[in-house]
Amino acid sequence: MRSESFSQGVDNVPNNIETFADVEGVKLLGDIEAVVVSGVDNSIIAGYMLKDYILDLGLKLPVFINESVEIPYWANSRTLIFVLSHSGSDLEAMKSYKMSVGRGAKIVVVSSDGKLKKMAQENNVSFIKLPDGLNSRTSFFLSFIAMVNTLIKNDVIRESVDFFKIARVLRKESFKENAEVFANRLVSKLPIIYTSERFSSVGFAWKRFFNLNSKIMAFNSLVPEACYSDMEGYATCPDNAYAIFLRDAYENKHINKEIDTMKEFLKRNSREVSELKIKGSDFLIELFSTIYFGLLTSLKLGIILENDVESLNGLDFLKKKLKSIY
């Protein structure tokens, strides 16, 4: 099957979520005391989303994000390790998978195919297959669904999630219309994205989207730490710096006040500032909506700038060079 182009993949996100919404989670034996999400590239966005969701649920479950080949020294048979790789051939993911097997951890591989699928079959390791033909830069939404459904299957998460409802929300035409407007504001700008810890996956995702899709530099930072560093750094920051505050409806009062204070400071110093808060009926809808809006905005901005949104020349160069290392 021919894979989606990036543009097609962005358009198809709601449909792909709906198609994959009730994918079967994996039932595992024994207790789960910690979760490690291992992967690179856009796949790892799903891990950061899971970490934010677990925090929102108030679960006493550590979630560790692993973007290297090393597995945490404490990982053991009571650790659930999700290995994420869209292609199934990411060298870092395969290396961390091998280490995970050696630790005796519970492992679930989420991928479309590739060497990881073969390795999982050889080791009798659980494998959740992503649908064929997905674009690699948008499939992370489905990797998130696979992880959540697995945690629900094992009673770690004890509430159901209506991914069909999320898909319906993302289909609203206003997402594309507003993304076009917002993208035009960012022409010739250097986006600096701010979120609270609760929305850390959103800032991480937006930064990656601008880099990979719009082909521009961007940075992200967390509040409150940014209040104690970035506010001084703006003294010599380039004039085209554009602060974007991505808010969520569940911020505590302290974080709310710090963000408002930082915005006031930047405006007093003639800095450009935008604030975005997409309201939803629950945290997951806000999380998906804000990340999807960033994905749409990065696509629109890349097109406005007449950059090749489909190519990944730098990433292709990197992966070619890494083959000689691993």
What confidence score (pLDDT) does residue 55 get? 95
Q: Could you give the residue range(s) of every CATH 3.40.50.10490 domain in the chain?
A: 6-162, 172-304
Sort residue 62 into left (φ over 0), alpha (ψ -120 to 50) or beta. beta
What is the CATH T-level fold of the domain 6-162, as seen in this structure? Rossmann fold (3.40.50)
Quick check: 206 and 191 in contact, CB under 8 A? yes
* Ranges under pLDDT 50 in the chain: none
What confidence score (pLDDT) does residue 239 get? 95
DSSP code of residue 187:
T
What confidence score (pLDDT) does residue 108 get? 98
What confidence score (pLDDT) does residue 315 get? 84
Residue spans of alpha helices (H) in 139-282 = 140-153, 163-170, 173-185, 200-209, 230-233, 253-268
The pair phi, psi for residue 129, each rounded to 5°, is -90, 130
Cα–Cα distance, 317 to 326 (Å, whole number): 15
What confidence score (pLDDT) does residue 325 get? 63
pTM: 0.96
CATH 3.40.50.300 for the 172-304 domain, yes or no: no
- 3-state DSSP of 248-295: CCCCCHHHHHHHHHHHHHHHHCCCEEEEECCCCCCHHHHHHHHHHHHH
Q: 4-63: per-residue pLDDT in tens?
A: 999 999 999 999 999 999 999 999 999 999 999 999 889 999 999 999 999 999 999 999
Contacts for 233 with CB less than 8 Å, ≥ 6 apart: none
Q: Which residues of 115-127 are buried (b: 16+ CB within 10 A; e: fewer)?
A: bbbebbeeeebbb
- Residue 179 in tokens: 């993304």
